[in-house]
Structure 1
Amino acid sequence: MDFYWIKTNKLIKRLFSNQVWDLPNTEKKIYLTFDDGPTPEATEWVLSVLKKHDVKATFFCIGDNVRKYPELFHKVLSEGHAIGNHTYNHLQGWKTTNKLYLENIRLCEEEISRKIDDIKLYEEKEKKEKSGNGNPNGIPHKITGLFRPPYGKIKPSQSALLRKKGYKIIMWDVLSADFDQKVSPESCLQNVVKNTAQGSIIVFHDSKKAFRNIEYALPKAIEILKGKGFQFATID
């Protein structure tokens, strides 16, 4: 990603209004999101920060990472966070045929569904052993209808096909730029706190590359934004 806006340009929002850039509301709600996980280098730490501050977020997961790190994926769900599809292999839509792109998204959806089924079976077994009945109610077992394109790059034709299948294309209003090694941790923090407004969708990454920046910026951003009266919510 060479050029990017920290605060998404209003013209872009209008041109691609069939994609979700922010979520206007009357309750000072904002939406914290994390891309590219789960990863052992960052996701567990992110979850610990969110738990400490009693914040729920939405995680856009790469299917292959869900396959490799099922325990982390389970933890994201069990702690009450929402999940979204981020393709199976982090594909760049502009450089990918529609057929391959949709197939990769389907693979991610299937991986997420498979892992949720595994969790459901585990919970049923645990509850039967402890109480004699199998009625799991801890994790909402459903396939996500949220999709975020890697790099934010998706063809209009791809977007239309996904929306026809029932997906919501979730973009963003504020980009932390945590992935950019040229961006300092303090700049990452300021990118978020100076640009967040009511209804903003904020992007961080729970990835190894972003960890230097999020380790500094994420806890401070949560504290500052809470201090401004914002409430954190998940994307439905």
Structure 2
Amino acid sequence: MWGAKTPRIIQKTFPNITWKKNEKNKNIYLTFDDGPCSYSTDWILNVLSKKNIQSTFFCIGENAKANPKIIDSIIQSGHIIGNHTYSHTNGALTSTQNYIQDIKKCEDVIPYTNLFRPPFGKIYPWQIKTIKQQYEIIMWDIMSCDFNPSISNKKLRNNVIKNVEKGSIIVFHDNKLAIGNLKKNLVEILEALSDSGYEFKLFRGNAKEV
């Protein structure tokens, strides 16, 4: 993990994966990792609905299997799904064969997608080569750090608001660790970004309509 702003040297080291989008306009991409979860996803969906904002949810297969109705709610609300492995597997600690198997297992319990995000952002170049045969690998240039229980509201908000730029891909988390911080900060962050003229876009064209 690299802190709130992914260093450009890291982005240049792995140019064949998506860290941010090349945008002329103030378009940005909102993403939520680790769901769906009974204690957080519905609240997030409600906020996004009220703000008329769409997002990409990178889902863990185990959670998708346990919460199929929430997966349906995500899709019915106009959002899209990405693959986040079945078991939240760390690619840096897993053989390529087992890693790909875990990705394939996730495919069995989520709607079709060709968007993939590696848990922890950990992935080897040889894994990238195999995964890119089927997926666009979506990383990020802004990490909210909402999973940190000791982060202040000001720091969390600034992690996003002070670092955002055209084409930014922003990560929040749809899990038990993050929901407390989200309830205190997500609405304010979204409003600040909208007030600054940013528009939230989906990775349309990268995932089939379902």
Fold equivalence (TM over 0.5)? yes
Note if 1:160 corresponds to 2:158.
no
> Over alpha carbons, which structure has the higher Rg?
1
Task: String of CA shifts for 1:10-57, please: whole Å, max 9, x gaps.
Answer: 011111000100011122110000000000111000000000000000
| 2:2 matches 1:17 | no
Structure 2 regions of 5+ residues with no counterpart? 205-210
Aligned residue pair count:
204
From 93, 96, 106, the counterpart of 2:94: 96
- Distance of 1:185 and 1:70 partners within structure 2: 32
How far did 1:4 drift? 2.5
Alignment of 1:178-197 (within 5 A): 178-197=146-165
The secondary structure found in structure 1 opposite 2:166 is coil
TM-score, normalised by the number of residues in structure 2: 0.95
Helix, strand or coil: the match of 2:176? coil
Counterpart code for 2:144: S
Which of 153, 177, 180 is the matching residue for 1:212?
A: 180
Could you tell me the percent identity over the aligned residues?
A: 43
Q: Which amino acid aligns with 2:179?
A: F
Q: Distance in 1 between matches of 2:7 and 2:106?
A: 30
Moved more, 31-40 or 177-186: 177-186
Query: What is the rounded CA distance, in whole Å, between the counterparts of 1:193 and 1:66 in structure 2?
Result: 30
Q: TM-score, normalised by structure 1?
A: 0.85
**Contact in 2 for aligned 1:92/1:153 (Cα 8 Å):** yes
CA distance in 1, matches of 2:153, 2:118: 25
Alpha-carbon offset, residue 185 of structure 1: 2.7
1:185, 1:214 within 8 Å by CA — same for their partners in 2? no
2 CA distance for matches of 1:155 and 1:93?
Answer: 7
Gaps spanning 5+ residues in structure 1: where? 114-142
Aligned counterparts of 1:30 and 1:89: Cα–Cα separation in 2: 28
Cα RMSD after superposing both structures:
0.9
1:73-120 Cα deviation digits (max 9, x unpaired)? 10000000011000000000000011110000000011114xxxxxxx
Once the two structures are superposed, the pairs formed by residues 1-236 of structure 1 within 5 Å of their partners are: 3-113=1-111, 143-164=112-133, 166-236=134-204
Determine which structure has the larger helix proportion and give its number.
1
Paired residues of 1:34 and 1:206 also in contact (CA < 8 A): yes
Structure 1 counterpart of 2:2, one-letter code: Y
